[in-house]
Amino acid sequence: MDLQVKIGYSFWGFLGNGITNTPDGGRSHRRPLIDALLGRGHEIVFLQTNRDRIEAGDALGDHYAFDGGIPDIDLLFLEWRWPIEGRNTSPCGTVGHTCDLHRQAELLKHYTVRRRTPTVIWDKDRQLREDSIWRRTPNVMVCEAALAPTPGAHRVLFPIDDALLDGADPVALAGEDRRTPLGYAGNQYDRDDAFDRFFAPAAARFEHWVGGKWTRTECWPHVSFLGRIPFTDVSRLYNGTLATVLLLPERYAVAGQMTQRIFEAVLAGCLPLAPAGIKHVERFVPEDLVVTTGTHVIRRIAAFQQIAGSQQHAELISDCLGRLELFRLSRQADALESVLDTATNAGVAQRQAVAR
């Protein structure tokens, strides 16, 4: 990148392990990405609440700079927030209210609109409407974690730390005692159809577990739901699990947006079965791990049980690890820096034009 810049970074979540009773998929990749940007000479100040300290009692957040005001910055970076009824749309101070959306609106108004500060929106949940005014605002650039992003958006995938990827040993992972044939860690949000089609039939045949917030489970009385599990338990549970299914909301699947669940599973040696309807699915998993029906999932798990611990098993894990190269941190940091560079240089040119 041509310039080192001061980034005002807005996110609603944690840098460390956080607390159990909250969703935040960003815990697996946010801090490595931030540390990579800091390592490249950029300055970062966080503009939302320090939830690591306030909610989790974790001093990790004190190693970084937080500012609840309006500091001087060169660029505004937003992990996009959207309205969630009963949470961030209620009046400030009411029970259950979180102020992430109000704070984001304040930041956009002050920096993006008034100051025309270069702004990058990372729409990690695909919640920014295709006709959003922010996609047409000259000083705003939109990024998406998808292989087929919305026209005009830039690709920045969820990153996996280079050291974790380089240190994974497929032979050792294949040798783990995987007593549970099937498992899944993640919340229910918009995954009912995929769960019903691919996971639930296999759960009727194999010992399994499902960790996460699943509040509407009446359709699957045979499924063992654990409820929310601590972030630190995800890897441990996958270490003893043979296979998982990559369950995506339809808005992710059609754009080829894979979540961090794939590398949480693969780094623990748990084989990720992927529904064939996911766009560019062949870039995420080997052909042998692409499934079309719940019956297909059952057949694949039964086949995995036959090869568990073998060289063939290790080769499958190795193939999965190789496909995680797509998410390598250094690669995604390069992609993000390219966007930041373009946004910053465009902002400089715009200010110079106004001055003339």
* pLDDT tens sequence for the chain (356 residues): 567 899 999 999 989 877 765 666 788 899 999 999 999 999 999 999 998 888 888 877 678 999 999 999 999 999 999 998 888 888 888 888 888 999 999 999 999 999 999 999 999 999 999 999 999 999 999 999 999 999 999 999 999 999 999 999 999 999 999 999 999 999 999 999 999 999 999 999 999 999 999 999 999 999 999 999 988 899 999 999 999 999 999 999 999 999 999 999 999 999 999 999 999 999 999 999 999 999 999 999 999 999 999 999 999 999 999 999 999 999 999 999 999 999 998 765 565 555 44
- As a whole number of angstroms, the distance between CA 283 and CA 136 comes to 31
Q: Which CATH architecture has domain 162-327?
A: 3-Layer(aba) Sandwich (3.40)
Ramachandran angles phi, psi of 44, nearest 5°: -130, 130
Domain ranges of the chain: 6-159+328-355, 162-327
Domains 6-159+328-355 and 162-327 share a fold: yes
- As a whole number of angstroms, the distance between CA 78 and CA 116 comes to 15
Residue 225 bridge partners (DSSP): 210
Does domain 6-159+328-355 fall under CATH 3.40.50? My reply is: yes
Q: How does 217-233 read in b/e, with b if 16+ C-beta sit within 10 Å?
A: eeebeebeeeebbebee
